[in-house]
Structure 1
Amino acid sequence: MSFWENFWDIFWWFIYVYAFFAFLFALFVIISDIFRDKQLNGWLKAVWLVFLAFLPFLSVLVYLIARGKGLTERAAERARQNREATNAYIREAAAASPTEEIAKAKALLDAGTISPAEFERIKSSVLV
């Protein structure tokens, strides 16, 4: 067997493996989208899963054609919700408690760095 025959066997093997993993990725994305979609009722979810089990390649193509736009919209909405939740958590974790803010402002007032009016303004903004 020559080098080039062996090379092309390896090349095609990599192509087949790549296609298989791409198909598996698409299949798992579709299955997760089916379960996360609140608009589909249980029967439609079951029908999609049965088709994915018995006619996987055809079902993946049909799903992507029929529901592909909705899939991307739902994924974008989930990403936005996750980003908002993460940002809210970061703000909550990074922000000092109102008592800490008032204590810092009181220390600045006692040191003479801020005036009593500024202290009251800080205190009222923290307590709101």
Structure 2
Amino acid sequence: MPILTEGRTAGDFVLYEVPEYSRDLATIAAGADLDAGTVLGRITASGKYVRSVRTATDGSETPVAVLRRAAAAADADVPNAILQARHTRCRRLGLIFDASWSTKAHRDTACAALAAAGITTT
């Protein structure tokens, strides 16, 4: 019998949420496949979400959400992706940060931005 691998799930990073309130549906912009738990920023011009990159200048440099399920967005936008957008407590070590958030101080800044959006980390 073949071995099955589950992959990342929300159980890897969500500690508390209110399902009817904490989640949003949004579009993930094409460009990269993203795993569940990826810290996201929103592009100001389009309103689409991408991996938050600290050095970006399009609005996505500010972390505002966490991707709940993987999104295969390498070749095309992914509509109706589920995000943790507010009133959520996440396990910080379960989150996936872009490499630009390379130091503890940078990740502290990212977590502070998430907290401003209503997503706390422990």
TM-score by length of 2: 0.21
Q: Which has the larger radius of gyration?
A: 1
- For CA contacts below 8 A with separation 6 or more, give which structure has more relative contact order: 2
Relative to total residues, which structure has the larger strand share, 1 or 2? 2
Between Structure 1 and Structure 2, the one with more helix by share is 1
